[in-house]
């Protein structure tokens, strides 16, 4: 069964289940888009590692590790919820109150869910300081899912220059009215740099950025 048919089957199975199922654990659109992006990366032999900023309990990290089993995987998160510095900046700009609790996680919890944990390099703490030492790395795929303006803009500033031609950045919650700072960060970076992005209709409304092939 190919990937597209598999997702049709999964979507049908979802409609047969209880609505009490946690929908964010079965975001078929984002997972299917990831699979197609991974196929593009493999087909064009795009070089680089993968990364995620904003891991929480590892739902999307599991899929990233699954579709890129042979690539080093850098995972950035405080693993204790929003950092106070980001909350204060978020509130000052009037984007959100930053009061959502994402502290129910840990490195061990996420690592225990990965299919290929030997590829994972956890970077707990405050981003972008936790990226020190990775300045010479190249990346083929990056997920930014931090909800707040500051870590999104810092993620774009750090990773896009290090993104291999043909590589992808997925930014989650672009269309989420609860976190307007995400949209503001993407639009600001896109105005300052020659990039474009494509919205996709997943949960939270991600945008997909692809670096030109050359």
* 204: CATH: 3.40.50.150
Residue 14 lies in a domain: no
**Per-residue confidence (pLDDT) for residue 26, from 0 to 100:** 56
Alpha-carbon distance 152 to 59, whole Å?
19
Residue 12's φ and ψ, nearest 5 degrees, are -65, -40
The overall average pLDDT reported for the chain is 89
- How many folded domains does the chain comprise? 1
Q: Is residue 157 part of a domain?
A: yes
- Cα-Cα-Cα-Cα dihedral of 110, 47, 30, 161, to 10°? 90
149 in any annotated domain: yes
pLDDT, tens digit (0-9, with 9 covering 90-100), for 70-120: 999 999 999 998 888 888 888 888 888 878 888 899 999 999 999 999 999
- Report whether pLDDT(42) > 60: yes
Q: Which domain does 154 fall in, by range?
A: 27-210
Q: Which of 2-6, 50-54, 172-176 has the lowest mean pLDDT?
A: 2-6
Residue 11's alpha-carbon distances to 8, 48, 62, 155, 172, in angstroms, are: 5, 32, 19, 32, 21
- Please name every residue paired with 81 in a beta bridge, in sequence order, or none if there are none: none
Task: Report the pLDDT value the prediction gives residue 83, as an integer from 0 to 100.
Answer: 85
Closest residue by Cα to residue 111 from 83, 77, 141: 77
pLDDT at 126 (0 to 100): 96
Strands (DSSP E) contained in the chain are: 49-53, 73-77, 120-124, 139-144, 163-171, 197-199, 207-210
The string of DSSP letters for 133-189 reads T-TT--EEEEEE---SHHHHHHHHHHHGGGEEEEEEEEETTTT-TT-HHHHHHHHHH
CB 60 within 8 A of CB 144: no
Comparing CA positions, the residue from 112, 103, 51, 44 lying closest to residue 78 is: 103
**Contact criterion met (CB below 8 Å) for 75 and 121:** yes
pLDDT of 13:
46
Q: Is residue 187 part of a domain?
A: yes
**pTM recorded for the entire structure:** 0.87
The dihedral sign for the CA sequence 80, 203, 187, 62: positive
């Amino acid at each position: 069964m190919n990937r597209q048919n598999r997702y049709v089957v999964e979507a049908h199975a979802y409609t047969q289940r209880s609505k009490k199922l946690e929908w964010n654990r079965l975001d078929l659109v984002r997972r299917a888009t990831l699979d197609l992006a991974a196929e593009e990366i493999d087909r064009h032999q795009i070089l680089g590692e993968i990364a995620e900023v904003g891991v929480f309990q590892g739902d999307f990290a599991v899929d990233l590790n699954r579709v890129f089993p042979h690539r080093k995987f850098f995972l950035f998160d405080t693993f204790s919820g929003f950092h106070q510095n980001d909350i204060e900046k978020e509130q000052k700009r009037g984007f959100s109150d930053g009061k959502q609790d994402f502290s129910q996680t840990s490195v061990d919890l996420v690592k225990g869910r990965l299919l290929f944990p030997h590829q994972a390099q956890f970077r707990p703490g405050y981003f972008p300081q936790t990226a020190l030492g990775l300045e010479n790395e190249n990346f083929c795929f990056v997920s930014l899912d931090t909800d707040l303006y500051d870590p999104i803009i810092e993620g774009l500033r750090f990773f896009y220059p290090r993104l291999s031609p043909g590589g992808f950045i997925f930014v989650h919650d672009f269309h989420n009215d609860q976190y307007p700072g995400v949209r503001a960060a993407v639009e600001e970076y896109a105005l300052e740099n020659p990039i474009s992005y494509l919205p996709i209709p997943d949960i939270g409304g991600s945008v997909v950025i692809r670096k030109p092939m050359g």
